[in-house]
Amino acid sequence: MLALPFSQACENNKAPILALLTQAFSQNQHVLEIGSGTAQHAVYFAANLPHLIWQTSDQPEYLATIKARCEQEAMLPNPATNIRLPLSLDVTQPWPVHGLTPDIDAVFTANTLHIMSKEMVEAFFSGLGAYLPQLNTLCIYGPFNYQGQFTSDSNRQFDAFLRQRDPASGIRDIEWICNLADAQGFSLKQDFSMPANNRLLHFSR
């Protein structure tokens, strides 16, 4: 098979995330993953959550990798049939993207908000509220600060690395994230501690 970009972090965290998504998405039917990246999460979650349609998406430069991994998955014995090829989605551009259906009732995103600028994070939440009318469940995975404080030295170092690479990026305060979510009608239902000083935030509306 074609060698594709690989994230060891995705491989390490996919099982702990799945354990929580199994509960969080138990009543949902159609998930949009924003920022599918290498698509390792997508193929794993789709295979293990067969009651869902799992719609991948990302910025245009990542679509070829996602498509190739989905196609590799389709060649395996007993492949998941509920994963959808990626949509081009830039949160700063007008939604809905071509092919995005209005029946999406859940969104998952992992390790994206600390890569985005603050303006992009704001656009992310505005897009959820404006263009996904059936959305009732939102799960966000990644590192977060609490009251402006890092939860670990490793997160402090990671934040410094992010800002050196791109001054507009950085680990976000959970209070700010919750305020943005609240403005779109979402409330924080659960805040789970995850491996490697990450969190999984489960919002509902």
pLDDT tier at 2 (50, 70, 90 boundaries)?
low
pTM here? 0.95
CA distance 183 to 203: 12
Q: Is residue 174 part of a domain?
A: yes
CA 4/CA 51 separation, integer angstroms: 27
Residue-wise pLDDT for 140-158, tens only, equals: 999 999 999 999 999 999 9
Instruction: Tell me whether residue 37 is in a domain.
Output: yes
- Coil, strand, or helix at residue 41? helix
Distances (CA, A) of 92 to 84, 119, 124, 170, 181: 23, 8, 7, 18, 17
- Residue 2: inside a domain, yes or no? no
Q: Has residue 3 been placed in a domain?
A: no
Q: Is there a domain that residue 102 lies in?
A: yes
The structural domain count of the chain equals 1
H or E stretch covering 48: helix 40-48
CA distance 65 to 56: 11
Over residues 102-107, mean pLDDT: 92
* CATH number (domain holding residue 182): 3.40.50.150
Residue 108 belongs to what domain range?
8-204
**DSSP secondary structure code for residue 115 in this structure:** T
Rounded to the nearest 10 degrees, the angle between the axes of helix 40-48 and helix 63-75 is 40
Residue 192 belongs to a domain: yes
Average pLDDT over the chain, rounded to an integer? 94
